[in-house]
Structure 1
Amino acid sequence: MAKYQDRLDSIKKNYGTLTKASGEVGKDFLAMHAAALEDGAISHKNKELMCLCVAISIRCEGCILDHLNNAIEAGAAREEIVEAVNTAILMSGGPAYVYGGTALEAMDELLK
């Protein structure tokens, strides 16, 4: 069962719909998003892991799936993702523990 992949596909579809509907605002947001996550002093992979921490902390499942997938595509290993989840738990406590579990469950599906 690919429930997280289906959710991720839906999120990506929604991004396209919103970007088209929002015009310049959507284009500008995506440009900022791409520029902020480029390799620099901090690698793209590590920036995606940072985004995953924030996504878990603010309890945004769509953000978790998107940045988890991006981190995996950028070469993040399972151990790095688990440490990112642990860092989010440190900073956000119980709610991050719940959403961190969601991130690990999704990781297991997306890494197959």
Structure 2
Amino acid sequence: MNKIEEFRSFRSEMNEKILATDNKVVKRIFSLDSLAFKEGALDVKTKEMIGLTISLSLRCDDCVKYHLEKCKEVGFTNEQIIEGMSIANLIGGTIVIPHLRRAVAYLEELDSETL
């Protein structure tokens, strides 16, 4: 199993286990997250770039991977993604650089998956 499949599988498996606990707060958080990324005053594409850049500046590698996949799905080019991440790095500071490295590596993996 490659790193992309591993990430997707783990995320899916754990989400199922978490939701199976039937915790009302957790279910509402998951629901709110899904609702927030639907079309609204901002389009889905914009929301995904916001999700990616905030995730990077907050240094959440799992969130970065998720939003990188979504940014590719909604049609961002690598150049646009890198530019967005450069702003996140500027705002987050040098502590974000290791996460930027991992993000770029994952972006390369996503690109090789689509070849």
- TM superposition score normalised by structure 2: 0.84
Q: How does 1:11-90 map to 2 (within 5 A)?
A: 11-90=11-90
Q: Which runs of 4+ in 1 moved over 3 A?
A: none
Would the aligned equivalents of 1:59 and 1:99 in 2 still touch at CA under 8 Å?
yes
Note the C-alpha offset of 1:21.
1.5
Note the C-alpha offset of 1:22.
4.2
- TM superposition score normalised by structure 1: 0.86
Note the C-alpha offset of 1:24.
2.3
- CA gap of 1:46–1:8, structure 2 versus 1, over 3 A, is same
Q: Which has the higher contact order (CA 8 A, sep 6+)?
A: 1
Structure with higher Rg: it is 2
Code of the aligned partner of 1:36:
A
Distance of 1:103 and 1:8 partners within structure 2: 15
Distance of 1:5 and 1:105 partners within structure 2: 15
Would the aligned equivalents of 1:64 and 1:103 in 2 still touch at CA under 8 Å?
yes
Would the aligned equivalents of 1:55 and 1:61 in 2 still touch at CA under 8 Å?
yes
Unaligned runs of 5+ in 1: none
Percent identical pairs in the alignment equals 25
CA deviations on 1:61-109 (whole Å, 9 max, x unpaired) are 1111111112222222211210111011110111222211211110111
Distance of 2:88 and 2:37 partners within structure 1: 19
- CA gap of 1:5–1:83, structure 2 versus 1, over 3 A, is farther
Would the aligned equivalents of 1:8 and 1:65 in 2 still touch at CA under 8 Å?
no
Unaligned runs of 5+ in 2: none
Note the C-alpha offset of 1:60.
1.1
Distance of 1:36 and 1:76 partners within structure 2: 19
